[in-house]
Amino acid sequence: MDKQIIYGITIFIMLFTVVFVYAANKYSRIFWCATVGMSNFNEVEKKIFIDNELEKNDSTRLHLLIKKAKLRITNKFGPLASKPIVIVVDEHKSALKYGVGPGQQSVRAYITPWEKYLVINSNTLNIDLLAHEYFHIEISERIGYVVFKTKLPVWLDEGLALQVDYRERYKLDKVPFNMNEVDRVKRLKGSSEFFTNNNEQYIRNMLAAKAAVIEILNQHPRKSLYLLFSRIDKGETVIDVFSNK
């Protein structure tokens, strides 16, 4: 066989392997979420699954934490429309395969065309992160999967979620901040520029996004955010709706 053909086949196999491994790693978490109903997790309430390795007191504590996070959103913006599948995993055995293990974020939202999942490491006590991730799900429910994934700017998505996230590092009065940063963060292109590996810059991006959304919400009556979302659902563009007008 011609050496060039062999070389080409070898390169193809290598590339296919790399793509396959990447996809398996990226989407395996969604697979585990989608099949949680066939696992040994206990469905303690409709659409709430808790790892059977957990003690009863852990289940009770986390159930209460979820309710508090939902209440925080409701008090600020109104009743929730989203009803994600909530999965609480054991911090030692199943956390890593769901993407909330050691060195990973302890709460994650996975949003797919068919379902939304909120995965929680049983060791978390962070109501801020829980409310933050839950609100990403609520936003996607309000404006639809396609718009959420393709039309919603990262700064707007994160800025909205930060309205119910009160962690110290994201408080505008705790960190030196220049409002000119708002224009800069709005010009960032996609997740790769927004979620930088530079932690200091990442926090500044989040703060600028939060400030940008506060500026927008100040132009509208309290609890009008869902009305803005409904305009998007009816066909208006995200940029037109959230243009401070």
- Residue-wise pLDDT for 78-124, tens only, equals 999 999 999 999 888 789 989 999 888 999 999 999 999 999 998 88
Q: Helices in the chain by DSSP H: which ranges?
A: 3-34, 56-77, 127-143, 145-150, 154-161, 181-186, 190-194, 199-217, 225-233, 238-241
Q: Where are the domains of the chain?
A: 1-126, 151-245
Q: What is the mean pLDDT of residues 183-211?
A: 92
| Burial class of residue 6 (count of CB atoms within 10 Å of its CB; 0-12, 13-18, 19+) | exposed
**CA quadruple 45, 48, 52, 55: dihedral positive or negative?**
negative
Per-residue tokens: 185: 């963060």
pLDDT at 6: 60
Cβ atoms 120, 107 nearer than 8 A: yes
pLDDT at 53: 81
Q: Helices in 51-197 by DSSP H: which ranges?
A: 56-77, 127-143, 145-150, 154-161, 181-186, 190-194
Which pTM was predicted? 0.86
- Residue-wise pLDDT for 34-89, tens only, equals 999 998 898 888 899 988 888 777 778 888 899 999 999 999 999 999 999 999 99
Q: What is the dihedral of CA 116, 101, 93, 44, to 10 degrees?
A: -30
CB atoms within 10 A of CB 240: 10
Q: CA-CA distance, 82 to 207, in Å (whole number)?
A: 26
* Beta-carbon contacts of residue 28 (< 8 Å; ≥ 6 apart): 97
pLDDT above 90 for 127: yes
pLDDT at 5: 65
